[in-house]
Structure 1
Amino acid sequence: MLPNTYILLISLLSSFSPLIIATLNLTLPHQHPNPESVVQDLQRKLNVSVSRRQMLGVSEKDQTSCLTGNPIDDCWRCNLNWGSNRQQLADCGIGFGREALGGKGGQFYIVTDSSDKDAVNPTPGTLRHAVIQTEPLWIIFSTNMLIKLEQELIVNSFKTIDGRGANVHIVGGGCITLQFISNVIIHNIHIHHCVPSGHANVRSSPTHYGWRTLSDGDGISIYASTKIWIDHCSLSYCTDGLIDAIMGSTGITISNSYFSHHDEVMLLGHNDNYLPDSGMQVTIAFNHFGEALVQRMPRCRHGYFHVVNNDYTQWEMYAIGGSAKPTLNSQGNRYTAPSDFNAKEVTKRVETDEKEWTGWNWRTEGDMMVNGAFFVPSGEDLGLEYAKASSLEPRSAGFIDSLTVNAGVLGDNGDNSISVSYPGFNGGGGGGGEGGTTTTTTTGSSSAGMGSGNSNSEGDYFNMIFGSGAPPPPSTSIIFSFLIIIILNITFTTIDQGALLSL
């Protein structure tokens, strides 16, 4: 059996020799060859926005102004007619996920039905029907919605889920899965109370559905996917991670989001032995890590991680953890330690001897340490980096209040007409007690900016906009690259099993 496996592997490898070279060099599709240049580009954009704010003399107390110094928000919120130009958002990305197009150039799809009755044959007008389509779509909502999923919501490439103008909550089975896809933007959505689902057929495209095993219950699960941008979301109360990215995913930005009420917040990397994750590159910017969080903000394995201008107001064990020699670049964050004397350290090298992690490149620059918090740097240029961080006035961290003032779903502190309570959980917004009953209230008619309607006609769900400008479908080279990774993984597993059987 094993010789046949070798023959098949060699045939496939020789067919895709250019891709094999890339794989063996542990590169991934869309992995940036110079991550430091991406960091510098983000800092340039940040400095421009902050300088504009200072030049115009915007008050720190003026939280309604679009000029917060946050380069993402200042890019689109300063346009008073953003509702008629929603797709401008796709031009506002920063960091490693800045190239995520989402549904830019495609049609608008208006979600008018909050139900999720059939994961194989979704009803037109539902979110599930929208996200499985093959063409680029900019998905918006006709009104406030609580969408209780029965199974994982498997999203296809080139989709934007845009919750602006409506109060949208996604809860239930599996929540959002991004698997073997690219170019997705998720913006302004509440995601919470996500639980495992599976042992069922779920549709992933108009022409394909397949059997799903039991999911972990992540809020957003990113699996072997690229060019992903998650912005202005509020995440809490999920069974496993709030956001997990694994299996060679890269080109990801997580920004302006609010995380609360969770243990293992964010996992970036499959396992310490999965070497393709060495190409993982993730930007974590302008987020607020809030109440009742324990650890993994994030927990990294292989790859490069830029953690910039986030506000850490609570953790119980540690804020940032890692193993398998990740590169961690921490800049301009505010770390507020808990009162527990044993949990003051921001960083944690997970199950790794100090002799190993002293060579890891973990940098701190301009970070603000509050209430006894301390960051333990490491790496080759430790002395230079530490001296630079110690002598540098934490000016960038001084703008944390304005940069993160709108973290989470926009307008979340205003009229919230949806309330959710589940047995065994506190309320969706952090209130309530144990053992509550399921209650759902949906009121108001907040327009999503592109009309609404309850008709079952297909024309009510789609509105054409610059259809000819839609981006091309994902390159087949991406698919082949992921295929090679999978083949190598399966083959090595088969060899290991064969070796065990021969013992």
Structure 2
Amino acid sequence: MLHTTCILLFFFLLPLFLPHGTATLNLTLPGQHPDPEALAAEVHRMVNASMGRREMLVVTEKEVASCLTGNPIDDCWKCDPNWANNRQRLADCAIGFGQNAKGGKGGEFYIVTDSSDDDPVNPKPGTLRYAVIQNEPLWIVFPSNMMIELSQELIFNSYKTIDGRGADVHIVGGGCITLQYINNVIIHNIHIHHCHPSGNANVRSSPEHYGYRTESDGDGISIFSSRDIWIDHCTLSRCKDGLIDAVMGSTAITISNNHFSHHNDVMLLGHSDHYLPDSAMQVTIAFNHFGEDLVQRMPRCRLGYIHVVNNDFTRWEMYAIGGSARPTINSQGNRYTAPEDPYAKQVTKRLDAGEGEWSGWNWRSEGDVMLNGAFFVASGGEAGTNYQNAYSVEPKNVDRISLLTMSAGVLGVARDNNLGMWTRGPNDGGVYFSDNGPEYTGDMSWSAIPLPPSPIFNLLYAFLALLCLLFNTTTLTTLL
């Protein structure tokens, strides 16, 4: 009886001492949309409106129609011939659950002039690391092509936009991007690849604070307990762990117009099957191209509501969309092209659950195009009214999906991309970098170093042990 009481006391007190402790007692997250079905319907209304405008203008105004794609994000800003001088207009163009991500809108422009990353504790002015840790909103731009090889995780502060339009910008190395306990970030038009674990070092996260970081996973973008995040028109490949991971109560996220390739575990949404705050996670995955040499997790979901809309899946080795712990997966208007392997034709994969359990999970497919034998195993009850009416025009035409995803990834021809260059001048002759390269190997990552026990946790366990001992002593005294 006493042993059981100690265990219960331990699990009651432990969350109060952890950074996410209060979240475990509150399943309503800041930024959570109260009606995700209505927002899914709104996304399709916007797509259909954009497609309708394009089809109408093709006949009447060919010059205007040439810039319209039907993609509501791109059509929002790309048809402005002066967009390069009105860059912050981009912040008004997001759709889906991350539509309120304003990034650095309203803030000053910060020009990255130095591609080095020599000191993660005291970064030099002019570097990207110096920009992303500042407290005020910043719209971060690049006057020339550059490769930024990170020494440690690039830890962001809130209200930042990385706008790589007009330059060929690559982020590689240790980390890479970490969004932790923050909000309102836009990452646009950046190559992110060959990210490997880093850590066991001090890293600055704001002008006032730096701290010791244990070893990271080596994700391309790690979203940890953050909200109002928009990742758009990036090209991601060849990282040690995930390309994009969102965990620990993160929500209000849109992942759009990106190109993913050459990777195993592409995208993880949800920390664990038992971390209940992730049941409030809401993510929109729209207009992306899941390209060559991808294996699985496009995405792999736990709990939460995931809207997968108008993406192009070009083969996979194991499965495209997987999940556990009863997530809601709303798949609409995607093109799924199965691999040649006859045992890998299924789009979906349920993990850690038998059919008797997962048959009640709400996994839906509507307007999806299935090619080369691909098939989606749906489950759950009948969809609600909002879901049934999500389309005004069902996107079953393959050409429609091709049009919506044709510009996925970094915009333009990266090796000749002066349009919208921040300096408005010719390229500075910097080196251009291609996505073509060797597969990621363990030789490209730092060696794992055994981590010493954290002194904070040692003190925590000592405190709990003492508290439990006093509790048991009091109980014994009472009994005697």
Map 1:101-500 to 2 at 5 A: 101-381=102-382, 394-395=395-396, 398-412=399-413, 414-415=415-416, 418-419=431-432, 429-431=435-437
Q: CA deviation at 1:7?
A: 13
Deviations 1:47-87 (A, max 9, x none): 1110011001179x999932000000000001110111100
Q: CA deviation at 1:102?
A: 0.1
Q: CA deviation at 1:381?
A: 1.4
* 3-state SS in 2 of match to 1:343: coil
1:401 and 1:413 mapped to 2: Cα distance?
20
1:127 and 1:267 mapped to 2: Cα distance?
26
Give 2:436's aligned amino acid: G
Provide the TM-score with structure 1 as the length reference: 0.79
* 3-state SS in 1 of match to 2:416: coil
2:386 and 2:138 mapped to 1: Cα distance?
44
* 3-state SS in 2 of match to 1:42: helix
The 1:165/1:193 distance shift into structure 2, 3 A limit, reads same
* 3-state SS in 2 of match to 1:291: coil
2:405 and 2:262 mapped to 1: Cα distance?
18
Provide the TM-score with structure 2 as the length reference: 0.82
Deviations 1:255-305 (A, max 9, x none): 000000000000000000101100000000000000000000000001000
2:82 maps to 81
Query: Contact conserved, 1:363 with 1:385, CA < 8 A, in 2?
Result: no
Give 1:264's aligned amino acid: D
Query: Contact conserved, 2:262 with 2:439, CA < 8 A, in 1?
Result: no
1:359 and 1:38 mapped to 2: Cα distance?
23
Verify: 1:44 aligned to 2:45, yes or no.
yes
Deviations 1:113-135 (A, max 9, x none): 00001000000000000000000
The 1:149/1:2 distance shift into structure 2, 3 A limit, reads same
Q: CA deviation at 1:352?
A: 1.2
Deviations 1:171-194 (A, max 9, x none): 000010000000000000000000
Give 1:430's aligned amino acid: N
The 1:149/1:25 distance shift into structure 2, 3 A limit, reads closer
1:225 and 1:433 mapped to 2: Cα distance?
31
Deviations 1:136-184 (A, max 9, x none): 0000011101000000000100000000011100000001000000000
Deviations 1:393-452 (A, max 9, x none): 6436541111011000001465376455xxxxxxx51245899x99xxxxxxxxxxxxxx
2:212 and 2:98 mapped to 1: Cα distance?
30
1:443 maps to none
The 1:4/1:302 distance shift into structure 2, 3 A limit, reads closer
Query: Contact conserved, 1:301 with 1:322, CA < 8 A, in 2?
Result: yes
Name the Cα RMSD after superposition: 3.5
The 1:433/1:388 distance shift into structure 2, 3 A limit, reads closer
Query: Contact conserved, 1:309 with 1:396, CA < 8 A, in 2?
Result: no
2:66 and 2:321 mapped to 1: Cα distance?
32
1:432 and 1:35 mapped to 2: Cα distance?
41
2:456 maps to none
Query: Contact conserved, 2:300 with 2:323, CA < 8 A, in 1?
Result: yes
Give 2:315's aligned amino acid: Q
Q: CA deviation at 1:236?
A: 0.1
Give 2:218's aligned amino acid: G
1:54 and 1:35 mapped to 2: Cα distance?
29
Question: Which structure has the bigger radius of gyration?
Answer: 2
2:426 maps to none
* 3-state SS in 2 of match to 1:239: coil
1:186 and 1:158 mapped to 2: Cα distance?
11
Structure 2 segments unaligned to the other structure (5+ residues): 418-429, 445-459, 473-480
Q: Identity, % of aligned pairs?
A: 67
Query: Contact conserved, 2:52 with 2:70, CA < 8 A, in 1?
Result: yes
Deviations 1:320-353 (A, max 9, x none): 0000000000000000000000000000001211
Q: CA deviation at 1:6?
A: 8.1
1:472 maps to none
Q: CA deviation at 1:29?
A: 1.0
Give 1:51's aligned amino acid: G
1:311 and 1:365 mapped to 2: Cα distance?
15
The 1:56/1:128 distance shift into structure 2, 3 A limit, reads same
1:64 and 1:56 mapped to 2: Cα distance?
5
* 3-state SS in 1 of match to 2:411: coil
1:373 and 1:383 mapped to 2: Cα distance?
26
1:294 and 1:362 mapped to 2: Cα distance?
21
* 3-state SS in 1 of match to 2:346: coil
How many positions carry a matched residue from both structures?
Answer: 430
1:54 and 1:331 mapped to 2: Cα distance?
21
Q: CA deviation at 1:4?
A: 13
The 1:357/1:102 distance shift into structure 2, 3 A limit, reads same
* 3-state SS in 2 of match to 1:342: coil
